[in-house]
Chain A
Amino acid sequence: MVNVEICIGSSCYVKGSDKVVAIVKNLISEQGWEDKVTVKGSFCIQSCQNKYGLGIKVNEQTIKGVTLSNAKEIIKDAIGNAL
């Protein structure tokens, strides 16, 4: 099972984390990953302070450099590697 955690603290919300939730959910249904991937929200995971971009963790590992425009690609690869 792959766990995707998306930060919904105020800093990430402003960068569009609510839209990333929708993107990831679409991705899961597109790829038919419903049984393999879960999406969770979280509070600040310090991505903003470390300038990693949007706060996203896949199986406890912080994914760096995520923005709204590249979110789908990067998260798809990260989940793909984790599966």
Chain B
Amino acid sequence: MALFSNDSRQFKFDILREIAEETFGGYLSEENVNAYARKLSPGTKADFRCCVYKEREILRQRARLAMGKMANDVAEYNPRQVVQVIEAACDGCTIRKIRITDNCRKCMSKACMSSCKFDAISMGIDRAMIDYNKCKECGMCVRSCPYNAIVETERPCSAHCPVNAITYDEYGIAIIDEETCINCGQCQISCPFGAVEDISWIVPVIELLNLNVPTYAVIAPSIQGQFENATLAQIKKGIELLGFKGVYEAAIGADAVAFNEEQELIEHIKDNKPLTTSCCPAFVNMAKIHFPSVYEENVSSLVSPMMAIARKLKHDNPGTGVVFIGPCVAKKQEAMEEYTAVDYVLTFEEIAAMLIAKRINCEELDAKEEDYPSVFGRNFAQGGGVSKAVIQASKEKGHDSFTGYYADGCFECKKQLTLIKAGKFNFDILEGMSCPGGCIAGPATIESPNIIKGRMAKENLKTDNKTIEKSLEIFNFDKINLHR
């Protein structure tokens, strides 16, 4: 059964599953990659592209990424660039932003021509024509045409990039500028051809499990509901069966972060400078690369919940490894920062590929509830959840309340960071989430955010109304340094 309705996502998943299966079995090799490129795109008739040979080349490039290599085999090795263009898969789609379509009736008012301030439109034989040497892509003609005959299109990848990191080569193939890219993965979500994908660490993680190296898994809260009706306890059990020594919720770290964030917020309010959250790695990257002064002054010095729980696990169990499992591709880069305690990051897609390769069906497992964090920590996965948790922490401590603003999506994040830089941000705390809707809408999720929201709410209703303070009594962070 197909897991994804999007064919390119399904191909990506099939490759991950094949590679997981072979690595678990201990017979992964370069030659096999050619074999399953053929298996997944058999025969001589192409289904999606111009020919099967192109399809197979795309699958080979996908396999390279899945094995932790650069998609382009001559590119310089840079695993910090998590989000990469699969050149063969890029359709090189149109880069003309303004186009005149068949709807043009060569009308008498010629509103398009009079609206154009650059004299770029003339009347052709059967429709109006644009002189692209003069066109400035302002869009005035688009709005002026009474027949909607002029359309404004932008390539999905560059239209969704908040930091203008995407350009094209002479053949229209997308290029990501590694200096400006924040690895948010929005281009990856938006590309209809699946030509932008993330590099995967599935092979070394399985290798570690094969060799019985003690390794803990840390799961992001948005994993709730990703595997049909499996409960969180069943999902944890399933992941443990893959060979992990234990599975912990990142929400435990989220409780610790929310509790300490409140302290930092009070100091920031005293100094009269707004605080921004630090749990979304793409948001932090955006601040770090594009708003360095804001990064210095305003971004919380606390580590993310992932890092908090990873440091706790490594502190309590020296000599073990930590693998984070989340919906996020930017986390893969965060795990390579110099203050890291996380060894590898996998996505939900990758863990699903591993579970299927091992024939583990979470829904059928017997699992019992163990100690769990507060619902506030788990709700870090949803947009607005971080500020709610910090407000809850201040309520529990009996402190004054404060004002928060939630920036939903990377473009809103950019806008609010610009306001902070200009000193025009009038709230105490800015919660930035690069994916619109929060982590549940991440690039590597399996189910749609609305379904997840419902399933999360339903499952969390069953838990008691534990406070953050109560949760931290169970999971003690006193000896853990939570700062960068």
Contacts and interface: CB of A to CB of B under 8 A. Distances in A.
- Is the A/B pair a real complex? yes
A40 B68 contact: no
Nearest to B343: A43
A33 interface: no
A82 interface: no
Contacts of A53: none
Interface residues of B, number: 20
A6 B210 CA distance: 13
Given A10-B204, A10-B343, A14-B68, A40 B79 contact: no
B208 A8 contact: yes
Interface residues of A, number: 16
Interface of A: 6, 8-10, 13-14, 17-18, 21-22, 39-44
B77 A14 contact: yes
A42 B320 CA distance: 8
A13 B203 contact: yes
B213 A43 contact: yes
Interface string B208-245: 10111100000000000000000000000000000000
Contacts of B203: 13, 18
Given A9-B343, A10-B79, A10-B336, A21 B207 contact: yes
Contact of A10 (B26, B201, B211, B320): B201
Interface string B297-337: 00000000000000000000001110000000000000010
* Main SS class of interface, B: loop
A10 B212 CA distance: 17
A68 B148 CA distance: 62
A12 to B, nearest CB: 9
Contacts of A8: 204, 207-208, 211, 213
Contact of A13 (B68, B210, B211, B321): B68
B211 A18 contact: no
A27 to B, nearest CB: 15
Contact of A18 (B77, B204, B213): B204
A41 B343 contact: no
B344 interface: yes
A42 B213 contact: yes
A39 B79 CA distance: 27
Contact of B213 (A13, A14, A22, A41): A41
Nearest to B201: A10
8 contacts: A10-B68, A10-B201, A13-B201, A13-B204, A21-B207, A41-B212, A43-B320, A43-B343
A14 B76 CA distance: 13
A56 to B, nearest CB: 13
Contacts of B213: 8, 40-43
A63 to B, nearest CB: 17
Given A13-B68, A14-B68, A41 B208 contact: yes
A44 B344 CA distance: 12
Name the residue among B213, B319, B320 with the largest chain A CB count within 10 angstroms. Answer: B213
A39 B26 CA distance: 14
Contact of A43 (B68, B79, B321): B321
Nearest to A12: B204
A22 B22 CA distance: 13
Given A10-B204, A14-B77, A18-B207, 8 more contacts: A8-B211, A13-B201, A13-B203, A13-B204, A13-B207, A14-B79, A18-B203, A43-B321
Contact of A41 (B68, B77, B211, B344): B211
A17 B320 CA distance: 18
Contacts of A14: 68, 77, 79
A15 B26 CA distance: 18
Interface string B180-213: 0000000000000000000001011001101111
Nearest to B319: A43
B211 A40 contact: yes
A41 B344 CA distance: 15
A29 to B, nearest CB: 13
A10 B207 CA distance: 12
A41 B207 CA distance: 8
Contacts of B79: 10, 14
Contacts of A22: 26
Nearest to B332: A10
B212 A40 contact: yes
Contacts of B208: 8, 41
A6 to B, nearest CB: 8
Contacts of B319: 43
Given A8-B204, A10-B201, A13-B203, A21 B211 contact: yes
